[in-house]
């Protein structure tokens, strides 16, 4: 059974358009509550959010939906997604809920969930929720309605957790850091973490208005960070996205390091991970496995193989010995810690990775179009693979949120990557 509402990372869309409407979100909270009560008499869930203005409305709708199903609610206010995952686990709660559209513009929003262990939930759980959405509501009577209260020390608890992942034998004293929180969920937390570990902190992207999240700042717009690092003579710059689970890093020379390069320290990547990372790891005798796109699938591979490190080129990095999900702040601390221990600069540490040029083209699909049955595309793909001759990659996959086909080609030569990607895109359109 295919999922109707859930994509690769929860339910997401434009606010005011289905399914991101208050009536649907109320129903969603009620349906999730019904699923939780199948195994627990009085569940308690934690709700955190980013800084979008629509978060107030959706938070109220979720709270009402949970209460109507007999589920208690704890509210954190703005808090990074990994902070919700951590507190759900630390407080032994039934479920963690995040209201966020991550790196999307402010007009979008979404809902994603974490298990009692602070992990992304499996497809089977999401299908159970979607089934419950189609069932008639089952309101509890007044004495059994859920209650809500605010968790006032949520931010402080999470700050202490982040600091605990950095060695107590090391300090950030002497480092000048630029922290860019994308006007998002990490705007209060991230500067404090690095300041309390001893760094001199310069903050940008830390003045949310409700409508400026990710606007010209953050992990999706690293040019603002590069400029600030250069202007302030900082040692490093750290950029998060709207919900602070992604990381982009800049060094003192203004050199940007994305998730693919930082993945060189790991051993699991997604289908989108640059081939240069795979080849560099193979040269050092390190196993590398590709998971499906989405950090939840990276986590599944890590758990299945008993590995600890993995992530995505977008900056979702998972260190299972530190956290159960991608965490931009914790990932930055691990990079700074590794650099401090190695005695090398970041550029020296990652000298083994020279990313292949990559060309990505999004092709809009017509209703009912079956791209897998396209013989022209199959023939073109064979030709392209022969041209790449093992020194490049082709990835064709449907978007999890839009009627698009993503056509990606990597090659050592940029012109060849562009040429091959365009040929494949033309075959899809034909």
Position 296 confidence tier, pLDDT thresholds 50, 70, 90: low
**Are 177 and 313 contained in the same domain?**
yes
211 and 124 in a common domain: no
Q: Which of 94, 102, 314, 331 is catalytic?
A: 102
Domain annotation covers residue 244: yes
In a domain, 330, yes or no: yes
CA distances from 404 to 106, 107, 424, 425 (A): 22, 20, 14, 11
What span, in angstroms and rounded, lies between the C-alpha atoms of 243 and 281?
30
Q: What's the confidence (pLDDT) of residue 338?
A: 83
The answer on 211 and 137 residing in a single domain is: no
Would you state the structure tokens that stand for residue 116, as one six-digit string? Answer: 């009692």
* Domains of the chain: total: 3
200 lies in the same domain as 67: no
Q: Do 316 and 375 belong together in one domain? A: no
User: Tens of pLDDT along 347-400?
Assistant: 887 776 677 888 999 999 888 888 999 999 999 999 999 999 888 889 898 886
Tell me, yes or no, whether 99 and 224 share the same domain. no
- pLDDT tens readout for residues 105-145: 999 999 999 999 999 898 899 999 999 999 999 999 999 99
Can you count the helices (H) and strands (E) in the chain? 14, 18
Give the tens place of pLDDT for each residue, 182-229. 999 999 999 999 999 999 999 999 999 999 999 999 999 999 999 999
Last residue of a domain, one of 329, 349, 369: 349
Same domain, 253 and 372: no
CATH number at 363 reads 3.30.310.50
Tokens of 103: 């790196």
Q: What is the pTM of this model?
A: 0.79
If asked whether residues 99 and 123 sit together in one domain, one would say yes
Could you confirm whether 102 is annotated as catalytic? yes
The overall average pLDDT reported for the chain is: 89
CATH code of residue 224 = 3.40.120.10
In a domain, 334, yes or no: yes
**Residue 210 forms part of a structural domain:** yes
More confident residue, 328 or 317: 328
The span from the CA of 52 to the CA of 54, in Å, is 5
Q: Does 102 share its domain with 210?
A: no
Whether residues 323 and 211 fall in one domain: yes
Residues 259 and 274 grouped into a single domain: yes
Domain with 208 in it:
157-349
Note whether 315 and 295 are same-domain residues.
yes
CA distances from 105 to 70, 123, 168, 319, 396 (A): 34, 26, 38, 28, 25
């Amino acid at each position: 059974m295919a999922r109707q509402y859930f994509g690769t990372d929860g339910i997401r869309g434009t606010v005011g358009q289905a399914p991101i409407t208050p009536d649907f979100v109320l129903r969603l909270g009620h349906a999730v509550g019904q699923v939780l009560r199948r195994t627990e008499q009085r569940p308690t869930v934690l709700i955190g959010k980013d800084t979008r203005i629509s978060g107030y409305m959706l938070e109220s709708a979720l709270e009402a939906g949970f209460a109507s199903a007999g589920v208690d609610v704890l509210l954190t206010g703005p808090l990074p997604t990994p902070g919700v995952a951590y507190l759900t686990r630390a407080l032994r709660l039934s479920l963690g809920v995040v209201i966020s559209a991550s790196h999307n513009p402010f007009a979008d929003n979404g809902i994603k969930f974490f298990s009692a262990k602070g992990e992304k939930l499996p497809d089977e759980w999401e299908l159970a929720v979607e089934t419950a959405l189609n069932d008639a509501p089952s309101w509890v009577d007044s004495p059994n309605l859920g209650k809500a209260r605010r968790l006032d020390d949520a931010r402080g608890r999470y700050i202490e957790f982040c600091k605990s992942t950095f060695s107590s034998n090391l300090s950030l004293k002497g480092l000048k850091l630029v922290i860019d929180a994308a006007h998002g969920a990490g705007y209060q937390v991230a500067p404090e973490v690095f300041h309390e570990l001893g760094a001199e902190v310069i903050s940008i992207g830390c003045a949310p208005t409700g409508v400026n999240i990710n606007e010209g700042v953050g992990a999706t717009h690293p040019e603002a960070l590069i400029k600030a690092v250069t202007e302030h003579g900082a040692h490093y710059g750290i950029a998060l996205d709207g919900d602070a689970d992604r990381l982009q890093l800049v060094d003192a020379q203004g050199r940007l390091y994305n998730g693919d390069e930082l993945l060189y320290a790991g051993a699991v990547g997604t289908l989108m991970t640059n081939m240069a990372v795979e080849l560099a790891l193979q040269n050092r005798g390190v196993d590398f496995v590709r998971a499906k796109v989405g950090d939840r699938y990276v986590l599944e591979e890590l758990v299945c193989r008993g590995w600890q490190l993995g992530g995505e080129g977008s900056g979702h990095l998972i260190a299972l010995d530190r956290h159960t999900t991608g965490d931009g702040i914790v990932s930055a601390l691990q990079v700074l810690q590794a650099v401090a221990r190695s005695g090398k600069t970041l550029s020296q540490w990652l000298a083994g990775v020279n990313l292949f040029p990559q060309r990505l083209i999004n092709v809009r699909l017509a209703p009912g179009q079956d791209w897998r049955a396209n013989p022209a595309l199959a023939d073109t793909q064979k030709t392209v693979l022969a041209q790449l001759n093992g020194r490049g990659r082709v990835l064709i996959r449907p978007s999890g949120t839009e009627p698009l086909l993503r056509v990606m080609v990597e090659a050592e030569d940029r012109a060849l990557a562009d040429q091959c990607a365009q040929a494949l895109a033309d075959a899809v359109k034909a």
